[in-house]
Structure 1
C-alpha cells in the first residue's frame, strides 16, 4: 500500500512537470540512438565481413611471384608463424559480354583450401571444368547457373560453363584499377576456376601467387621479410590482407563510423546530464514540504531517496530503450545498403556492450542527478523541510559596482541583470546545453563541407586533365606515346606499387606515381596552396601518408627495386592531397635508381574533341573522364554525407528540446515574481521581455561558446576519419551563420510558446502558491 501511494505520487509529479520529463526522455533517446545507430553500421560491417573471411578461409598474406616452385612454397610454410602456404593463379581477363567488362580470374588447385569462393548457389567441382562467377556480376549481366561465358587469357579465348554463383572475401569492395573509385558490377567482377582449366591456354598448370595463412599472434613484418628473402629477385609484389584494396576500403568505412560514434554522443550525454540536473533540482526543491511530510509520516530515508531517484531512472531507462529501438533502424537500415559493399546480407547488428555502457551513462546522468538532488535535503529535519526555504541573502551584483553604467540602465534591464547573476547555475546550464547543441550542428556542417570539398581539391585543383587513358604496356612505350601528336596537352605517368621499409622497420606496399618533372596536368601543392615541383634528388610524399608511416620531410625510406635490391631514398618534400595518398617521383630520378620508366597511363587535356581513333586503338585499354572520376568519388562518400545530415537533424532536435526545457524552467521558477510585477502595474509586454530576453542572452552566449566546440569536434573527426583522406577542419562563416540562425530560430519559436503561457498567467494562483 505504501509503495502504491508513492507510485501514484510519482505519476502525479511527472504529470505536473510532463514537459520537462518528456524533454529528458527525448534527450536520452537522442543520445542513445546516435551511439547505437552509428555503432550498428560499423559493427554490422565487421560481423558480415568476418563471416565471409571465415567462410572463404581468407589468407593473411599474398606473395606475387613469377611461377613459384613447390620448394619455395615449402620453405615459406616453414617460416615461424606461417600456418599454411598454397599456390594459385590470378589475372585480369577480358570477356565477350556486352560492354567488354573485365573479370579477375582466380585459378585454384584441387587441394587448395585458402581463399575459396563463398558459394551462394551451385557447386565448385573439381573435375567438371566449370567456373564459379561473382554473384553481383552475374545479376548485373543477367547470367545464371548453366550459362557459359568466354574469357581471354594469354591471347586465347576460353569458353567456361557457369556451375556456381559466389561471393569473395577479396571483392567486398571491388574495383578494377586506379581509374575506378567505386564498385561497378557492370564493369568488373571475379571468376574462380580450377587450375586444370589453364592447361588449354598455357599447356600446363601455371601459378603466379602464393597465399599464406598465419598463426594467431604471428609477426607479419618478420614473415614478409623472410618470404622476401626466399623468393629473391623473382618477387613481384607482397601484400598483407589489411593493405589490400578491398580490406583497406572496408577498414576505412569502419573507422569513419567509429570516429563519428565516439565524437558526437559525448556532447549529447553532457547536455542530457546538465538539463536533467536543473530539472530534478527544481523538482526536489519545490517538494521540500512533501519530503518533510514523508519523513514525518515515518518513511525511511532510503525509501524517500529511492522514490525520487526512480524519477530519473525511469525516464532515463525509457529514453535508452527508445534510442535502442530508433538508432539501428534510423542509421543501420538507411546507410548499410548504400555502402556499395558486397556482403552476404545487409542485416543490422547491435553493439550491445556499447549500448549497456550508454545505458549506464544515461542512468548516471538521470538517476544519479535525481539521487543527489534528494540526498542534499535528507540532512534536514521534517520541521525544517515543512517550512519554506529561506530566501537567498541579497547581495550586489557586479554591474552595480559600475555606477555610471548601472544608473543608465532601465529598471527592467536591472531586473534581468539581477536575475541572471543571482541564478548563475541555471544560466550556466542553459549556456552549456545550447553550446553542446550548436557545437554538434556546426561540426556536422563542417564535416559535410570537408568531405564534399575532396573532389574539388583532387579533381579540379590537383588533377586538371580531361581524360586518363590506361595504355597497353606491351604495345606502347614512352617513345610511342611521345610520337602520337595528339591535339592537346599530354602527360605520361607510371603507376605502380613498391615495398617500402620505414626507419622503424615497418614494411608496407605503397603506391608510386612516376611522371615528368614539368607535370602540366598534375599540380601538387603544399597545404598553404603553394605549387610544388618534383625534384630529381628524392621523392615527394603526401602529408597523410608520411603521418601514417611515421616519417617526415628529411627522413629516408627504403624502396625495393625490381632487381630485388633495396635503395634508400630521401623524402625531400611533402604535399597536401585530400584523397589518394602516395609517393611521387620524376622519371629522371626513377631511372637513376636503376629502373625503367614504362608509362601505364596517359593524361590528356584535349584542345577540342577527343581523338576517337586513338581511344579506340589497341594501345588503349581503358579511358575515363576526370568528371566521371569526381562523380564516382562523390558516390563513395554519399553515405558519409547522409550520416552527417542525419547528425545535423538530430543536433537540431536536441537544440530545440534544450531551449524549450530551459525556457519553460526559467518561466516556472519566476512565475510568482512575474505575477507580482503584473499586480504592481507592469504591462504584459514589459513582463514578457524579462523572461524572453534572458533566453536570447543565453542562446547568444551558448552560440559563441559552441563555435570552438564545433571546431574541436570537426578537428577530432577529420584526424581520425580515414587514413587515406587528409581532411582539414576549418570553420566557415556561412556554417557559423546557419548554425546561429537555427539556434535563434528555435529560440524565437519557443519564446512565442512561453509568451503564450504568460498571457494565460493566473496571477491569483501564482501568488497563493506559497501558502
Structure 2
C-alpha cells in the first residue's frame, strides 16, 4: 500500500507541477540535442564523404609528367609494392565553342574502376562522339540531352592533334568524387586560367601519343577511412615511395627519349646523305657534260643544306632536353577535399565547448528548481517520516521526478540531435559542396555521455536537496522553515541615497539582497545565456570579417599572374605590352617559393616564401603591419617577416629562429624580425639581399602582383583571356574571386551560428521562466498580502518584474564579460591551421544579445502577469500552523 501511495503521489506531483516538469525536461532536451547534434555533425560529414569516395572509388594518387606517361611508366607503377590498381587515362583542356568555357575533358573507359562517375541524368558515353557533361556546374541549364557541343583550340581555331572529333552529342550529366565543390574545378592552361567545368568522352576518341595521367589505388589505403590518421600516414609513406621510384624513372625516361630521337635523326641523316650523294653525282655529270650551271641542282642542294641545318637544330634540342618531371598528387589536390575536412574539424572543435556551457546552465537551473521543489514538500516529507516511511522511500519521489524528466528529455534530445542538427548544418554546406545526402549515424558513446550528464543535472541535484532536508527529524520538518531574519542592507546605510528612494524602489532593493542565492542564480543563469548568444554573434563577426580583412586590408593587389619561365622573347614582349596598358595601375614583380616549416613536435606547415623586386610602393600591394601594435613593418637584411598565425602554431616571437625546407629537403634558417597581420594562409616575407644570402642565388621574379583600374567580373574575365592567349602565362587569379570563394565557404558556417544563437535564446527563455516561476512560488504569501493591501495586477507584476529587470541587466553585463572570453577561446579552438579568425566582436552583436535576453525576460513576465492575476488573496489570511 505504501508503494502504491508513493507512486500515486509521484504522478500527482508531476501532473500538478506540469510547467516545472516540462521546463526541466526542455532544459535537458535542449542540452542533449545540442551536445549530440554538434558532436555528431563532424563525424557524419566525414562518414558521408567516406561512403561517397568508397562507392565511386576515388583514386589515392594521380601521377602526371611534363612529357606524358608511356608504357614504361605504367609498368613501373604497376610493379610498385602495395599498388592495388593503376588506371591510365587521358585529359585535355579545351574551349567549348558555344560559350567559350574552359573545359577539362577526361577519357572514360567502361572497364575503368577508379574515379567513377555518378549519373545525375541520362547515361554514360558508350559510343564514339558521345559526351557526358558536369552536372554540378549547372551545365544542364545550358544544355540538354541530345544537344551537340563543339570544341575548339585555345586560340579559337579548329581542333587538331587532341581529339579525333570536335563535335559531341550530349548523352548525360554526371558528378565526380574528384570535384565535390560546386564552384571550383581547379586551374586551367587556357581561358582565364580556371576550369569552368569537366566532361567525359570515350577513351578511344583521344588522339594523343602518350597517356596524360595515371590514377592509383594502394592496398593499405583502400581499407582505411578517408581523412583518418591511418589513411594520412599511409598516404605519406606511399607518396615518398612513388616519388623515389619516379625520380629514378626520370633518368631512364630521358635516356630512352634521347636514344629514340637520335635513332630517328640517324635514319633521317642517312636518307639525307643519300640524297646529297645523288645531287653531287648529278652535278658531277653535268659538269662533265659541259653544263656551266644547273638551276634545279642548285635549288636541290640549297634544300638539302636547309634540311641539314634543321637536323642539326633537332640534334641540339635533343641534347638540351631536360629530364621529365613527375608529379605525384594525392587527394588533397582535388578541389574541396582538404577544405571539406577543415569544415568538419571546425564543427568538431565547436562541439567541445558549447555543450559544456549548455549543461552547466541546465545543471544550475535544475539544482535551483529541485531544491525549491523539495522545500515546498517539506511538510509532506515530515508527515511521511512521521508515518514510518524510510528516507529511501521518501527520496524516491524526487529521484523519480528528476530522472523521468531527464530520461524523456534525453530521449527527445537524442532524436532531435542525431536527426535534425546534422541535416540542417549539412544542408547549409550544400551551398558549397555537391555531395549525396548526409549519412546519419547513431553514436552510442555520445548518447551514454549525454544521459549520464542529464541524470547528474536532475537526479543528483534532487538527491543532494533531499539529503539536506532528511537530516532533520519529523517534528522539525512538519513545521515551516523559519523566515530569514530581516536586517539592513548596505544601501540603507547610505542615507542620502536611501532617503530619496520611493517605497517600491526600497522594497525592490531589500528583496534583491535578501534572497542572495536567488539573485546569484538569476545573474549567473542570464549571464551564461547572454554569453552563448554573444559568442554566436561574435563568431559570425569573426568569420564574416576574414575575406574583407585578408583581401582588403592585408593583401591589396587585385590580381596575381604566374608567368612561364620558359616563355619565348616574343611571348614576354607581348605580355609586357599588355601589362603596360592603361588598365594596369600598378605592377610588383615578385618571387614566390612554396616551402615547409621544420620544427620538432609540430606538424609541417606550407608557407609562401615571398620576395619583392623592390620595396618602393609596397604598401599599395601588401600591408605589412602588426595587428596589435599597428606598427608598419619593414623588410631588412637581418631576417624575415612572418604572418601571425604561423608564429602561434610554431610558438615564434620576434628574434626567434624559423627553419624552412624546400622540395629537395634542404633546410634554411631565418631570424624573425617582425610579425605581420594575416588571416588566410602562411606567408614569410624577406628582402632580396636576405634571399640571396640564404639561397646563394638571385630570386626569380616570375610572378606579378597587379592593381587594376577596373575590377568588374566581366572585365577581369576578358583580361584573363588576353593574358592566357599570350602563351607565356601559366595562371591568373583575381583577389575578388578568391575573396568571394572564401566568403562563400565561411558563409556556410552562418547556419551553425544561427543554430547556436537560437538554441541559446531558447535556453535563456527557459532559464528565465524557471527562475521567475521559483521567485513567484517562494513569495506567494507576500504577493497575496500586497494584493489585499490594494495593489493592482499591473503593480503586482511590476513589483516582481522590477527585480527581474535589474537582475537581468546585471546578468547581461556579466554575460558580456563571459561572452568576450568565451568568444576568444572558441575562435582559437575552432581555427584551422592555415586560417586565423578576426578576434573582434562588433558593437551590434552586444546590442542584439542584450535585446534578445530582454525580449525573453519581457515574454516571461507577460506570462507571469496572468499567473499573478490568479493569486487567491485569502491565501494571505491563512495562519501558519
Q: Report TM bin, short chain.
A: 0.7 to 0.9
* 1:188 alignment counterpart: 196
Describe the SS at the equivalent of 1:364: helix
* 1:170 alignment counterpart: 178
Q: List per-residue Cα deviations over 1:267-309 (Å, max 9, x = no partner).
A: 2211111111111111111112222333444544433323221
- TM-score by structure 1 length? 0.83
Q: List per-residue Cα deviations over 1:500-543 (Å, max 9, x = no partner).
A: 25233955655566654444333343323444455677655432
* 2:291 alignment counterpart: none
Is the alpha carbon distance of 1:613 and 1:107 closer, same or farther for their aligned partners in structure 2, counting shifts above 3 Å?
A: closer
Alignment of 1:233-248 (within 5 A): 235=325, 237-241=327-331, 245-248=335-338
Separation of aligned partners in 2, 1:762 and 1:611: 76
TM-superposed deviation, 1:341:
1.0
The answer to whether residue 477 in structure 2 is matched with residue 377 in structure 1 is no
2:626 pairs, out of 507, 526, 531, with: 526
Separation of aligned partners in 1, 2:215 and 2:592: 18
- Contact 1:478/1:492 (CA < 8 Å) preserved in 2? no
The answer to whether residue 851 in structure 2 is matched with residue 741 in structure 1 is yes
Describe the SS at the equivalent of 1:315: helix
More deviation, 34-43/361-370: 34-43
Describe the SS at the equivalent of 2:871: coil
* 1:654 alignment counterpart: 763
TM-superposed deviation, 1:248:
1.4
The answer to whether residue 411 in structure 2 is matched with residue 302 in structure 1 is no
Separation of aligned partners in 2, 1:536 and 1:148: 57
Q: List per-residue Cα deviations over 1:212-266 (Å, max 9, x = no partner).
A: 5645644655555554444448555555545754221101210222233222222
* 1:605 alignment counterpart: 708
- Contact 1:43/1:351 (CA < 8 Å) preserved in 2? no
The answer to whether residue 581 in structure 2 is matched with residue 486 in structure 1 is yes
Q: List per-residue Cα deviations over 1:640-691 (Å, max 9, x = no partner).
A: 1232133223322222222222122112201223334555678878766553
* 2:680 alignment counterpart: 579
Separation of aligned partners in 1, 2:3 and 2:401: 14
- Contact 2:88/2:215 (CA < 8 Å) preserved in 1? yes
Separation of aligned partners in 1, 2:480 and 2:638: 84
Separation of aligned partners in 2, 1:391 and 1:344: 64
More deviation, 9-18/495-504: 495-504
* 1:367 alignment counterpart: 459
- Contact 1:539/1:570 (CA < 8 Å) preserved in 2? yes
Separation of aligned partners in 2, 1:245 and 1:611: 22
The answer to whether residue 428 in structure 2 is matched with residue 338 in structure 1 is yes
Separation of aligned partners in 1, 2:152 and 2:6: 78
Q: List per-residue Cα deviations over 1:369-416 (Å, max 9, x = no partner).
A: 223322333344444433323444666666677788778876665654
TM-superposed deviation, 1:18:
3.0
Is the alpha carbon distance of 1:517 and 1:496 closer, same or farther for their aligned partners in structure 2, counting shifts above 3 Å?
A: closer
Unaligned runs of 5+ in 1: 181-185
More deviation, 17-26/217-226: 217-226
Alpha carbon RMSD of aligned pairs, Å? 4.4
Is the alpha carbon distance of 1:144 and 1:178 closer, same or farther for their aligned partners in structure 2, counting shifts above 3 Å?
A: closer
The answer to whether residue 235 in structure 2 is matched with residue 139 in structure 1 is no
Alignment of 1:333-732 (within 5 A): 333-339=423-429, 340-346=432-438, 348-349=440-441, 351=443, 353-392=445-484, 415-466=507-558, 474=567, 480-484=574-578, 485-487=580-582, 488-491=584-587, 498-504=594-600, 510=607, 515-518=612-615, 519=618, 520-528=620-628, 529-533=630-634, 540-548=641-649, 554-560=656-662, 564=664, 566=666, 568=668, 570=670, 572=672, 573-584=674-685, 593=695, 594=697, 597=700, 599=702, 603-606=706-709, 617=722, 618-619=725-726, 626-627=735-736, 629-677=738-786, 690-723=799-832, 724-732=834-842
* 2:210 alignment counterpart: 204
TM-superposed deviation, 1:455:
2.4
- Contact 1:477/1:598 (CA < 8 Å) preserved in 2? no
TM-superposed deviation, 1:586:
6.5
Unaligned runs of 5+ in 2: 189-193, 225-229, 248-322
More deviation, 600-609/256-265: 600-609
Separation of aligned partners in 2, 1:125 and 1:8: 72
* 2:45 alignment counterpart: 45
Separation of aligned partners in 2, 1:151 and 1:510: 38
Describe the SS at the equivalent of 1:737: helix
* 1:12 alignment counterpart: 12
More deviation, 274-283/697-706: 697-706
The answer to whether residue 410 in structure 2 is matched with residue 320 in structure 1 is yes
- Contact 1:515/1:586 (CA < 8 Å) preserved in 2? yes
- TM-score by structure 2 length? 0.74
TM-superposed deviation, 1:75:
7.4
More deviation, 715-724/732-741: 732-741
- Contact 2:561/2:705 (CA < 8 Å) preserved in 1? yes
